[in-house]
Structure 1
């Protein structure tokens, strides 16, 4: 909730979490493709898509905040931060993404990544607002 309030104060529209059911397809590739199609359909026009992937770029908290600030200041309609399913991300999602972000080379449980992402979003809003929460 604090991230929502901080975000609104910085001109960020707010945060919304969408969850999708895991595909029941038998093959991992088919599951990734079905889940990818559902996620792609949920990305609004004009949105910046950021996928979390171990092969992505590792950013400092300051760099992540700068990316959010740049998206906001350029009039980006929405910022969609996408966490893949248990089998990973469909190639179609990687192709749509303007940024592939990594929290390191390791693979983490989905729920842990959500917590890590929420922390980085909150930290980014405090960095952008000059709040002393981020001290690094």
Structure 2
């Protein structure tokens, strides 16, 4: 079943580890079979000052946000959801004609400007993940959520 939903992911940096790349490609392709998904990769900023990196990457991310985007920022202090709750969040956003726009910041985190702009802060876990692994986990959870929405048996509960 193909949904008319649109999902957008903005993330900083390319996936350099081949295992993370292969896993992310697997779930990205599975998601494409269910709905439209767009990915925007922001180039990592090179600077000696962490604050400069975070702020410039933040500006670059904000330049890629559209008016229809419902901004969901991955943040360690964000709200935790189980998979059923997460699927309801995605479903509710999409049925309101908004586009869930997931943002994964770079290695040093997100600027306060992005945090202030976000409609929702979510955490994938109380644990901290490298941003490449966070991307894979996010894709798997988006895929799981979509299968819950369409009634596919991927999610066993």
**SS of match in other structure, 2:37:** coil
Which stretches of structure 1, 4 residues or longer, exceed 2 Å deviation after superposition?
Answer: none
- Tell me the SS of whatever aligns to 1:87: coil
1:110 and 2:131 correspond: yes
In the comparison of the two structures, how many residue pairs are matched? Answer: 129
Tell me, in whole angstroms, the C-alpha distance in 2 between the residues paired with 1:41 and 1:61. Answer: 30
Q: Offset of 1:36 from its aligned partner?
A: 0.3
The match for 1:5 among 33, 45, 58 is 33
What CA deviation, in whole Å up to 9, does each residue of 1:51-72 have, x standing for no partner? 1011101101111110111111
Instruction: Choose the corresponding residue for 1:95, options 113, 116, 120.
Output: 116
Deviates further, 89-98 or 17-26: 17-26
Distance apart, 1:105 and its partner CA: 2.0
* CA distance, structure 2, for counterparts of residue 111 and residue 52 of structure 1: 13
Aligned to 1:10: none
Q: Does 1:129 align with 2:150?
A: yes
Q: How does 1:13-92 map to 2 (within 5 A)?
A: 14-76=36-98, 78-92=99-113
- Higher fraction of strand: 2
1:49-101 deviations in whole A, cap 9, x for unaligned?
1010111011011111101111111111x221000111100011111111111
**Partner Cα distance (1:27, 1:80) in 2:** 28
Q: What SS does the aligned partner of 1:45 have?
A: coil
- 2: distance between equivalents of 1:105 and 1:99? 17
Q: SS in structure 2 opposite 1:6?
A: coil
Alpha-carbon distance between aligned partners in 1 of 2:92 and 2:40, rounded to the nearest angstrom: 24
Once residues 46 and 132 of structure 2 are traced to their aligned partners in structure 1, the CA distance between those partners, rounded to angstroms, is 20
Counterpart for residue 20 of structure 2? none
CA distance in 1, matches of 2:41, 2:121: 20
Structure 1 unpaired stretches of 5+: 8-13
**Secondary structure of the structure 2 residue equivalent to 1:53:** strand
